[in-house]
């Protein structure tokens, strides 16, 4: 008997397949799926027919027919700080449970992989996407999502795209406030550890630091600016670089708590007392800020609240589109606060005299 040829499962239809079959754009298919009123009846009928003919995502077809109101939001992330991600998830999931929103969390890399993951979620029927930094600063990723007609929200971008909803704090003002605080303690040799250069908020925080120094009549010493990556490991390297200078800074302001904690660790290893010999300040006020000794003086960025606001804003946009309304690029700016703990101290003329004598 002649063997039967192997049976291979048919490849699932994608949103692009439906668009091609109906002779419309992927954005139009998305609008039909999301029940937006801006699609002409004839076009809507062709898209629904194509969905049924290609057996495209039964869940989506059911949503068209039954009018199910639950919203599905995808959260993409690539941030290396587990403390930041933890706070983000706590806030996002809390608000999602209140609004009948299903959240799908997906890790990806900030390159073509992120675009592939986003498209996979969109083809699976996701209603909207949340993009924490640095993903929210990727022009290619934003273009791919907008081209599919799916609303997206940026969390923590220093310069949010006008094509996205956004939730953030004033990164520039926050860094300026912290630097002014350190200056008020008498420090003049203030080091700064920059975050990942691919994150727009890294640049805004660096700009705030520089502005505060200039406003105090100081020349920005670029030797006191070290590059970090928002990771603990990069904080160790930055601390070694700054504290090995012939005239090391008396205070170091790091762009996040992970790097600040690493600086405290290096200071301890070098037998420098924090804050008596070295002031160390961070940014974010994650759980790590109070898990080390001494506890960190830091900028409180309301990460969990930003995630809550993001889910609420994106859900409202999705429902608004379903009602046939046009996109509204809303940008919510939340407040920040300087939280003073035990890692900063006054730097007096006596300290400077002792430093000169040691040299």
Q: Which domain holds residue 275?
A: 171-300+339-358
Query: Is 348 within the bounds of a domain?
Result: yes
Query: Is 234 within the bounds of a domain?
Result: yes
- Are 178 and 253 in contact by the 8 Å Cβ rule? The answer is yes
Query: Is 94 within the bounds of a domain?
Result: yes
The pLDDT score that the predictor gives to residue 251 is: 98
Query: Is 241 within the bounds of a domain?
Result: yes
The pLDDT score that the predictor gives to residue 40 is: 82
Query: Is 3 within the bounds of a domain?
Result: no
- Residue 171: half-sphere exposure toward Cβ, Cα within 13 Å: 23
Does residue 47 sit in the same domain as residue 82? no
Does residue 231 sit in the same domain as residue 310? no
Does residue 94 sit in the same domain as residue 220? no
Query: Is 158 within the bounds of a domain?
Result: yes
Beta strands in 46-118 (DSSP E): 71-77, 101-107
Does residue 100 sit in the same domain as residue 150? yes
- In angstroms, the CA 118 to CA 265 distance is 38
Does residue 292 sit in the same domain as residue 313? no
The region, left, alpha or beta by phi > 0 then psi within -120 to 50, assigned to residue 293 is beta
> In CATH, what number is assigned to the domain containing residue 128?
3.40.50.2300
- Are 232 and 259 in contact by the 8 Å Cβ rule? The answer is yes
Does residue 163 sit in the same domain as residue 184? no
- Are 252 and 278 in contact by the 8 Å Cβ rule? The answer is yes
Does residue 232 sit in the same domain as residue 318? no
CB within 8 Å of 121: residues ≥ 6 apart: 74, 104, 106, 129
Residues of the chain with pLDDT under 70: 1-12, 26-27, 30-31, 34-38, 57-69, 80, 349-359
Which tens digits make up the pLDDT trace of 14-43?
777 888 889 987 667 766 776 666 678 888
- In angstroms, the CA 28 to CA 44 distance is 9
Say how many domains are in the chain.
Answer: 3
Does residue 115 sit in the same domain as residue 83? yes
| Strand 251-254, strand 225-227: pairing | unpaired
The pLDDT score that the predictor gives to residue 5 is: 45
The pLDDT score that the predictor gives to residue 33 is: 73
Does residue 126 sit in the same domain as residue 191? no
Give which of 205, 71, 209 is closest to 133, Cα–Cα.
Answer: 205
Q: pTM of the full predicted structure?
A: 0.78
- Residue 155: half-sphere exposure toward Cβ, Cα within 13 Å: 30
Query: Is 9 within the bounds of a domain?
Result: no
Query: Is 8 within the bounds of a domain?
Result: no
Does residue 86 sit in the same domain as residue 129? yes
Does residue 343 sit in the same domain as residue 240? yes
Does residue 346 sit in the same domain as residue 245? yes
**Residue 295 C-alpha from the chain's centroid:** 25
The pLDDT score that the predictor gives to residue 255 is: 97
């Amino acid at each position: 008997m002649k063997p039967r040829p192997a049976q291979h499962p048919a490849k699932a239809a994608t949103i692009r397949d439906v668009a091609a079959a109906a002779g419309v754009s992927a954005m139009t298919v998305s609008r039909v799926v999301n029940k937006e009123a801006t699609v002409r009846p004839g076009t809507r009928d062709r898209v629904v027919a194509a969905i049924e003919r290609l057996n495209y995502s039964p869940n989506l077809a059911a949503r068209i027919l039954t009018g199910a109101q639950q919203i599905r939001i995808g959260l993409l992330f690539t941030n290396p700080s587990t403390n930041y991600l933890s706070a983000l998830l706590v806030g996002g999931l809390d608000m999602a449970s209140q609004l009948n929103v299903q959240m799908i969390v997906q890790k990806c890399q900030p390159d073509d992989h992120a675009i592939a993951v986003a498209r996979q979620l969109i083809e699976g029927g996701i209603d909207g996407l949340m993009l924490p930094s640095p993903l929210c600063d990727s022009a290619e990723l934003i273009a791919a999502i907008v081209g599919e007609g799916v609303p997206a929200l940026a969390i923590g971008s220093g310069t949010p795209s006008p094509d996205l909803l956004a939730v953030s704090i004033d990164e520039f003002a926050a860094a300026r406030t912290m630097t002014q605080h350190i200056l008020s303690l008498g420090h003049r040799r203030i080091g700064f550890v920059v975050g990942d250069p691919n994150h727009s908020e890294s640049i805004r925080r660096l700009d705030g630091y520089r502005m505060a120094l200039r406003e105090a009549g100081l020349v920005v010493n670029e030797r006191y600016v070290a590059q970090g990556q928002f990771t603990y490991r990069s904080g160790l390297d930055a601390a070694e670089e700054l504290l090995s200078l012939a005239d090391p800074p008396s205070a170091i302001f790091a762009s996040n708590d992970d790097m600040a904690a690493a600086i405290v660790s290096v200071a301890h290893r070098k037998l420098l007392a924090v804050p008596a010999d070295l002031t160390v300040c961070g940014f974010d006020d994650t759980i790590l800020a109070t898990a080390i000794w001494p506890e960190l003086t830091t900028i409180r960025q309301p990460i969990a609240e930003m995630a809550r606001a993001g889910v609420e804003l994106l859900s409202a946009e999705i429902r608004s589109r379903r009602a046939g309304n046009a996109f509204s690029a809303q940008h919510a700016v939340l407040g920040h606060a300087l939280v003073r703990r035990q890692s900063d101290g006054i730097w007096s003329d006596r300290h400077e005299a002792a430093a000169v004598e040691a040299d």
